[in-house]
Amino acid sequence: MYLVKPPHIIRKLSEKYIHWQVKTNEKVLYFTFDDGPIPELTPKALKILDKYNAKATFFMVADNVRKHPDVYQQVMDAGHAIGNHSYNHVKGWKLSNEEYYSNIAKASDLLNTKLFRPPYGQISPSQAKHLAKDYNIIMWSVLSGDYDKNTSPEQCFNNILRKAKNGSIIVMHDNLKAEENMLFALEESLKHFSQLGYRFDSLANIYE
């Protein structure tokens, strides 16, 4: 079970330190990918993005960057932005604040970016306040649900179709459990919104 669109009250209470949506009247969407890079899937996403002249933001697990530097370089060479998604996908609510900050700092040694997204979307108010001094903390306005085994590829696409609007930050995942849903929904979303005159940009052009 997941919420495709975060509740307004949560967004309102945290917006001082956390970015949920880009405020714009332009027809632009911000696709983001969590958990990569991995050689089995990230290049497939890159190919689809290139087909629609789309730029995106990849929130990377730094240990995956260490394991797959060539895939990381493919993302960079294609002109996409990167974000910090911790060193090894830790849960912020299960670590002490110092352990959490240390993990993120370790990831920063490999990822030269001021964009950060907490794994699982888990971040406490005190953690957000502290990290916002050094990072732009990026959440989302549309959760595709591509990782959910009970969500079909068509449902995943429909989640985006129903909730995306100008300035939406859309979450997808370049991990293996999301593969079928992500690839289908990404292709269909880019096709659909391209026909409506949308462009697709990276968050680095807004927050870096």
Report pLDDT digits (tens) over 23-33: 999 999 999 99
Residue 13 scores a pLDDT above 60: no
Q: State the first-to-last Cα distance of the chain, in angstroms, to the nearest integer.
A: 33
Alpha helix ranges (H) inside 109-201: 125-131, 153-163, 179-195
Question: What's the whole-number mean pLDDT along residues 28-52?
Answer: 99
Q: How would residue 200 be classed by pLDDT, with cut points 50, 70 and 90?
A: very high
**8-139+150-166+176-198 adopts what CATH topology?**
TIM Barrel (3.20.20)
Residue 63 scores a pLDDT above 80: yes
pLDDT of amino acid 148: 96
Sign, CA dihedral 61-138-141-10, equals positive
> Any idea where the domains of the chain sit in the sequence?
8-139+150-166+176-198
Measuring CA to CA, which residue among 161, 171, 181 is closest to residue 31? 171
Q: Which range among 10-14, 114-118, 121-125, 164-168 shows the weakest confidence by mean pLDDT?
A: 10-14
Length of the chain in terms of residues written: 208
Residue 8 scores a pLDDT above 90: no
Residue 94 scores a pLDDT above 80: yes
Report pLDDT digits (tens) over 130-158: 999 999 999 999 999 999 999 999 999 99
User: pLDDT above 70 covers what percent of the chain?
Assistant: 94
Question: What's the whole-number mean pLDDT along residues 87-95?
Answer: 92
pLDDT of amino acid 2: 63
Global pTM exceeds 0.75:
yes
